Chains A and B, each alone.
Chain A
């Protein structure tokens, strides 16, 4: 079974803090993704990575950065957390077979609250 883990289920931070969200997958997948989920908006892609040290902006990258130093690990960084970044953050990974059937497998999510 594919296993995607996230470092925290719940996180509370203060405005202006630097926040790290960590994601690890154990299936040797090339692709990794960070989404945020807000009520009524579904999932929106923040960043994704298709290889070590490679990254691409998603639909809402502002205020976020990412790091992928190892294939199995993809980190989301909030350089200076703001209250509008309070949300559920979901990490996902997928193999790269290069066709439309590549399924993404998700971690359990991190519910971040910024005070």
Chain B
């Protein structure tokens, strides 16, 4: 079974609007972390935001926020006031503490296109 599922291969949004990128995850580990990365066309993966499984509040970093719904096992990324520079691939990832390793499992990504 897929550990991380991103069901939107592509999303379009107009500049200055908000957009939500979906991510659902599957784990039986009570302790885990969820990450979002951005990959522009240049190729480098840029860390955006992190949410811990025990965090009571949704994580926020500037224009990025994470809509964390633990019971539904979803961790959607919300980008407010989209900018042209937000056009990129976005990946959701998870780390399970009890795997005993430090590895991340990634989803297949969502390509976001921001139009003027």
Contact = CB atoms under 8 A, between A and B. Distances in A.
Interface in B49-95: 50, 52-53, 91, 93, 95
Contact-residue size bin, chain B (C-beta under 8 Å from the other chain): 20 to 34
A62 interface: no
Given A43-B106, A45-B103, A101-B50, A106 B31 contact: no
Contacts of A58: 103
B44 A108 contact: yes
Interface residues of A, number: 30
Contacts of B91: 42-43
A100 B103 contact: no
B36 to A, nearest CB: 11
Interface of B: 4, 31-33, 35, 37, 42-47, 50, 52-53, 91, 93, 95-97, 101-104, 106-109
